[in-house]
Structure 1
Amino acid sequence: ELAAKIAGYAPGDLNRVFFTSGGGEAVESAWKLAKNYFKLTGKPGKHKVISRAIAYHGTTQGALSITGLPGLKAPFEPLVPSTFRVPNTNAYRASEITGGFLDGSDPEAFGRWAADQIAVAIENEGADTVAAVFLEPVQNAGGCFPPPPGYFQRVREICDQYDVLLVSDEVICAYGRLGHMFGAERYGYQPDIITSAKGLTSGYSPLGAMIASDRVYEPFAHGTETFLHGYTFGGHPVSTAVALKNMEIFEDEKINEGVREREGAFRSTLEKLLDLPIVGDVRGDGFFYGIELVKDKATKETFDEDESERLLRGFLSKALYDAGLYCRADDRGDPVIQLSPPLVCGQEHFDEIEQKLRSVLTEAAGLL
């Protein structure tokens, strides 16, 4: 019943649901499925994966290999080979990312450029060796990078051109975080596989899901072919019961509709913080936002490693917690504060978030 409900939410013909025990396992499953799929369809050399710089995809061996954060990977190397990184979509840092070619003032041009780097990577590696591209609808690590206009549409074209599977990693973005059940729906693109977890049960019980298209499932539907993969607690009856009830609440209380109605107010409230000298950028969508902190607002100069350590872990993390604001102060990339409030929040909560941030960030700026 839960699988049917998830498939009903998923865009296009993503009708095949494989349950895991969490998000990293869903990513691991997706990579294994992609490789298995191409072996069964006569292209056994297609096994490589492309993902984005700074992106986080999980801690298991395969998912960590796909992750674009060298510091997280170093203690466990060598990891699974055959993963490659392309630039992310941080428009605030577009000039740095493109080597001065674009400055981010034309989001569509930046999105086209960023998507085209995937084609360059596929060409460099050889299209007959690349199985999948793993992308989050809004990239989490680095501080909430939304896709520029047209980005995912161009990525879809590239994947079709080179026969590469598009995996939408929605472990964070699915189930209401962006005001839709899936981020792919919000941004209007069709993935071949979706990975999800977290919001599937609203965190009350561990459960992940990999959702595959009928096309990807088709080679396994004949004869004795089997996807030889599974997890001890994948599809656990308690977790699936929790998820099913959670989905019912989403429908009954119109959770997604509420996020879409209030996301503009959330954005405009957070953007008030742009008057602070330490706040360089406010970005995100739905109820998922990052606030990038800068040393010099005019030049976008960021903090060095020691300054970032003192700012984030030496002050901000504790100060924000003590102020009653539970959020993430993160420097996987440039220093940011990330916000993902409960999906039922309203203006009174947005105002409280802004006021607490304003107070703490003002104090932080005075310490620098």
Structure 2
Amino acid sequence: TEETEEEFTRLLLDELEHTIEAAGPETICMVIFEPVQNAGGSFTPPAGYFAGVRELCDRYEILLCADEVITGFGRLGAWFGSEKYDIRPDLITIAKGLSSAYASIGGVVATNTVMEPFLESTRMYTHGITFGGHPVQAAIALKNLEIMKRERVVEHVAEQQNRFRKTLAQLVDLPIVGDLRGTGFFYALELVKDKETRATFDDDECETLLRGFLSPRLFEAGLICRADDRGDPVIQISPPLVAGQQEFDEIVSILGDVLTEAGERMR
């Protein structure tokens, strides 16, 4: 019988608890997760996973940090992936989306409990960074957030995400496409050698397929996509947060033509 989502969640949580116990809970101060894992291609969490992670962190007194450098500020159809999946982290790392990449900026958001020792203690936290608190980058980020709220950019992603997925799903019929996964405006197409067996490409084939052909060919056709083989080979698709059906159709048209050509080349 096939594994249920509930069974898969339990397996992952048991593995995490075993890892904590093996290392010794007293040696672990924090665990860090992406709400949707980027490496390997937009892996969304199974139901109940982050509730289980939160419970384990509370039980072992370990901080939970959500890495929202990619997923924050609308990419998943919510301001934060932590909000979408009710993660309730102790810390959140943020960067790119804070300024929509108009300026280099990053930051850490922490709960009052985490911040209290830094604010109440008389001792100094001796850490510095050359561009910390940079006023120009901060001003750009604030203006970016103002515009995003005014133009309802995050709400637009939430409203359009089902149309985006439905449009991308047309590509699943291609022989070289084994899976479509993701959420919001953050998706990956997993590429396979054999659709029936889900057999993947070896390292040399990945090099030829992803970097030798797909990346340059997609660029020539007018589409910037990232080809990644940290795990199974994937094409990652993250359109601008203001994209609509016209852009979705163009993305799928280009991907369809190039992936069809790729499949014929790899036979």
Q: TM-score range by the shorter chain?
A: over 0.9
Tell me how many residue pairs correspond in the alignment: 266
> Could you report, residue by residue, the CA deviation over 1:46-65 in whole angstroms, capped at 9, with x for unpaired residues?
xxxxxxxxxxxxxxxxxxxx
User: SS of 1:301's equivalent?
Assistant: coil
Task: Look up the match of 1:266.
Answer: 164
Q: Distance in 1 between matches of 2:33 and 2:14?
A: 14
Amino acid at match of 2:223: L
Tell me by how many angstroms 1:139 deviates.
Answer: 0.6
Aligned residues of 1:207 and 1:235 also touching (Cα < 8 A): no
Q: Is residue 159 from structure 1 mapped to residue 159 from structure 2 by the alignment?
A: no
Task: Look up the match of 1:247.
Answer: 145
> Could you report, residue by residue, the CA deviation over 1:73-130 in whole angstroms, capped at 9, with x for unpaired residues?
xxxxxxxxxxxxxxxxxxxxxxxxxxxxx95x52232123212211110000111111
> Could you report, residue by residue, the CA deviation over 1:152-172 in whole angstroms, capped at 9, with x for unpaired residues?
011000100100100000010
Aligned residues of 1:143 and 1:338 also touching (Cα < 8 A): yes
The within-5 A match list for 1:268-307 is 268-307=166-205
Q: Is residue 219 from structure 1 mapped to residue 219 from structure 2 by the alignment?
A: no
Task: Look up the match of 2:101.
Answer: 203
Q: Is residue 144 from structure 1 mapped to residue 42 from structure 2 by the alignment?
A: yes
Q: Distance in 1 between matches of 2:116 and 2:260?
A: 57
Task: Look up the match of 1:328.
Answer: 226
Give the alignment partner of residue 126 of structure 1, picking from 18, 24, 42.
24
The within-5 A match list for 1:23-62 is none
Percent identical residues: 57
Q: Which runs of 5+ in 1 are unaligned?
A: 1-101
Task: Look up the match of 2:210.
Answer: 312
User: SS of 2:193's equivalent?
Assistant: coil
Q: Is residue 343 from structure 1 mapped to residue 229 from structure 2 by the alignment?
A: no
The within-5 A match list for 1:181-200 is 181-200=79-98
> Could you report, residue by residue, the CA deviation over 1:236-268 in whole angstroms, capped at 9, with x for unpaired residues?
111000000000011100011100000000011
User: SS of 1:280's equivalent?
Assistant: strand
Q: Distance in 2 between matches of 1:239 and 1:115?
A: 39
Task: Look up the match of 1:354.
Answer: 252
Tell me by how many angstroms 1:195 deviates.
Answer: 0.2
Task: Look up the match of 2:68.
Answer: 170
CA 1:201 to 1:272, structure 2 compared with 1: closer, same or farther past 3 Å?
same
Tell me by how many angstroms 1:223 deviates.
Answer: 3.6
Aligned residues of 1:115 and 1:152 also touching (Cα < 8 A): no
Task: Look up the match of 1:363.
Answer: 261
Q: Distance in 2 between matches of 1:355 and 1:346?
A: 14
Q: Distance in 2 between matches of 1:202 and 1:114?
A: 33
Aligned residues of 1:143 and 1:290 also touching (Cα < 8 A): yes
Amino acid at match of 1:255: V
Q: Distance in 2 between matches of 1:207 and 1:175?
A: 13
Tell me by how many angstroms 1:206 deviates.
Answer: 0.3
Normalising by the residue count of structure 2, what TM-score does the alignment of the two structures yield? 0.97
Tell me by how many angstroms 1:307 deviates.
Answer: 0.5
The 4+ residue runs of structure 1 with deviation greater than 3 A are none
